[in-house]
Structure 1
Amino acid sequence: MKYIAIVMVWAAFALPGQTQELGVNIAKELPNVEVQTEHGPVTIQREQDTEHHVSGEWARTSRPCPPFCIQPMTPVAGVATIAELELLDMLQDPEVIVLDSRTSDWFQNGTIPGAINLPYSVVLDQLDVLGCEADFDGWDCSNASKVALFCNGPWCGQSPTAIRHMVSAGYPVERIFYYRGGMQAWQVLGLNTVLPGGWE
């Protein structure tokens, strides 16, 4: 809701026909990015309050290991690890599926705009969502989509587990991308999220 209030304040001070400049851009020449979601277009941008602090779940630094152990940079050889700018490019590419591989309880509390939820625990049963075809031996993933997976952050094993399952089923490693920073890095950088049914 805070995000909506900020947008309304900017709109109130903008002159007709004038584009309001943001104080906190994503990159030097990139103030925001518009992505298509099942609920319509969503603008991704950073929190504009330069005094804003991450709080709650995303401010925690230490979680018990196991199960919340630090994940490797590359979950499977050949899978590319990406960061926020690459993920933003993928969110704008209709040929790429951005996959929130967390369980639905995490997803329901907010996700990256444009991501779909396919939990790591069921990914092997639903590879058809990603362009694979069921065959007598399991899955034929020769025409599988490019997919970027994320979960809660560098301490979260949900997307690495999903990636390992996908590769074991024959998903081509060169079509899998791992956003290791996940929701924690996304929140730390002040990038906005959405609830499955609307704004967070």
Structure 2
Amino acid sequence: MRWLALLLLASPAVADPVGITPDVMSVTVQTPSGPVEISRLQDNAAVIEGEFARIARPCPNFCIQPMVPAPGVTPIGELELLEFLADPEAVVIDGRIRPEFEAGTIPGAVSVPYTEAADRLGELGCEPDFEGFICEGEHPRVALFCNGPWCGQSPTAARRMIEAGYPAELIHYYRGGMQMWRMLGLTVVPGS
């Protein structure tokens, strides 16, 4: 009987499947490098580690951000962000500084550091003006994210974009950011 107990302890545990939703195991998004499958880590014993496991960072700079960083901006969660990634007309923006983006980002996200967001509205179809940009007509919906609920980079980017002329109703904010994305075990790729 003892050998049976030892055998059971030595056997690998069978992991229960980890889906995005009960009906969706993965989502494939198109990126400049080709298609990337986003799924959740299939290790039922996985835990978040490293910088994103730190929960007690001093405020400032790491103060809890509001759900709505500016009037008119729509907060979204992971499922809505996946819909953005699947929509070829929408743009998902990583508002973090370039080294953070390069260290790992959400597949399909483009790097627009928060310090550059107001100056790069031309990439979203706006016309330069003396006081910012003119953003009349059709423009893409954008989803901004950064490091997580305590990170002010993407909320700052949203406010700067609005001040420069981008319509607030086209801006969506994924407040969970990389911390929540990693906590849920979703696919992370190096930024390029």
Please, what TM-score do these two structures have when normalized by structure 1?
0.85
Partner Cα distance (1:130, 1:115) in 2: 14
Map of 2:101 onto structure 1: 107
- 2:53 maps to 1:59: yes
With 126-135 and 178-187 compared, the bigger mean Cα shift is at: 126-135
Q: 2:125 aligns with which of 124, 127, 131?
A: 131
Q: Does 1:151 align with 2:146?
A: yes
Residue 173 (1) aligns with residue 150 (2):
no
Secondary structure of the corresponding residue to residue 72 of structure 1: coil
1:138 Cα deviation after fit: 2.2
Work out the CA distance in 1 between the residues paired with 2:156 and 2:29. 27
- Tell me the distance in 1 between the aligned counterparts of 2:60 and 2:126: 32
- What's 1:80 paired with? 74
- Following superposition, the deviation at residue 141 of structure 1 comes to 1.2
Secondary structure of 2:159's aligned partner: helix
Post-superposition CA distance 1:152-192 (Å, at most 9, x none)? 00000000000000111121111000000000000000001
After the TM superposition, list the runs of 4 or more consecutive aligned residues in structure 1 that deviate by more than 4 angstroms. Answer: none
State the AA in 1 paired with 2:139. A
What is the aligned counterpart of 1:164 among 140, 159, 167? 159
**Is structure 2 residue 83 aligned with structure 1 residue 68?**
no
What amino acid is the match of 2:159?
A: R
Partner Cα distance (1:127, 1:170) in 2: 8
Match of 1:45 among 25, 39, 43: 39
Q: Name the TM-score, length of structure 2 as normaliser.
A: 0.89
- 8 Å Cα contact 2:131/2:164 also seen in 1: no
2:29 equivalent among 30, 35, 42: 35
RMSD after superposition: 1.1
Q: Tell me, what secondary structure is at the counterpart of 1:195?
A: coil
- The offset of 1:34, in angstroms, is 0.2
Aligned sequence identity (%): 56
1:5-41 superposed Cα distances (whole Å, 9 cap, x missing partner) = xxxxxxxxxxxxxxxxx81110010110000001000
- Structure 2, gaps ≥5 residues long: 1-15
- For residue 92 of structure 2, give the secondary structure of its aligned residue in structure 1: strand
Residues 26, 37 of structure 2: 8 Å contact kept: yes
More moved, 130-139 vs 93-102: 130-139
The CA deviation at 1:131 is 1.9
Matching residue within 157, 182, 189 for 1:187: 182
Q: Which has the larger radius of gyration?
A: 2
Structure 1 counterpart of 2:128, one-letter code:
A
Q: Tell me, yes or no, if the aligned pair for 2:93 and 2:109 is still in contact at 8 Å.
A: yes
Following TM superposition, by how much is the alpha carbon of 1:113 offset from its aligned partner in structure 2, in angstroms?
A: 0.1
Partner of 1:57, secondary structure, is helix
Amino acid aligned to 1:162: A
Aligned residues: 176
1:129 alignment partner AA: E
Aligned-residue offset at 1:137: 3.6
